[in-house]
Amino acid sequence: MYVGRIVCVGVTPSGRVCAGYRVSSRSFPNRRAVAREHSVSIIPKPGHESDVEKNPYIAYNCARIVRDGEVAVLTNGSQTDPIAQKIDAGMPVRDALALSLIALDYEHDSYNTPRICAVVDRTNQTGWLATVREDGLNVCRMPLSPRTFFYVATYEENDISEARCGAFDAETPQDACTFLLGGGIFAQRTNPVTAVAAVATYSGYSLAHQDAPVA
């Protein structure tokens, strides 16, 4: 089943919060993740730079670590930066998500693609999912517990529900990327391109990214 982009929040077996993001695409699969110290960006692969002229929504910062390493923000679009900036300035996560998504709205492309977001806070072990669609806005704190994750996608599975969950055995961000690309229920979600994950450490977050295997 094709569900487009996916974000998730979860807790590792050892009790560390994790947020993940998977790019799945049928129209623009030639993209990659580029990591910096406290952020990750999605950009076209070399030779496909002109794709952004066809769709300006395909390149963006997808992950940022803010508030001195306390909070990780992962999303499917340009909402990453305003959400991260509001949280970094001291705004509660719920409010930062709601205000940013209301302001930006869903992506006004040919599919009316929803904006989806995942935020985790390692200081209080909380995780949030949020989405703005053509028909509504949802911001929800999820009931996190070890070895469990919750997710939301841009298509088909774009309503936030505690039923959209599963077993989560990933311990490292690399493990989480592998899981997002083809583990558990995600093995049945088609057209994976790349994945990004942030897992809490004692002093902040460890970030990783991984491309899907070439078919």
Yes or no: say if 208 and 52 are a contact pair by the CB < 8 Å rule: no
For 95-113, what is the mean pLDDT? 96
The answer to whether position 85 is within a domain reads: yes
Output the pLDDT for position 187.
95
For 4-26, what is the mean pLDDT? 97
Q: Note the pLDDT tens digit of each residue in 177-197.
A: 999 999 999 999 999 999 999
The answer to whether position 151 is within a domain reads: yes
The answer to whether position 26 is within a domain reads: yes
The answer to whether position 110 is within a domain reads: yes
- Count: domains in the chain: 1
Residues contacting 85, CB < 8 A, separation 6+: 66
The answer to whether position 1 is within a domain reads: no
The three-class DSSP label of residue 155 is coil
Query: What domain range includes position 72?
Result: 6-211
CATH number at residue 152: 3.60.20.20
Nearest Cα neighbor of 196 from 214, 213, 211 is 211
Q: Note the pLDDT tens digit of each residue in 61-101.
A: 999 999 999 999 999 999 999 999 999 999 999 999 999 99
pTM: 0.96
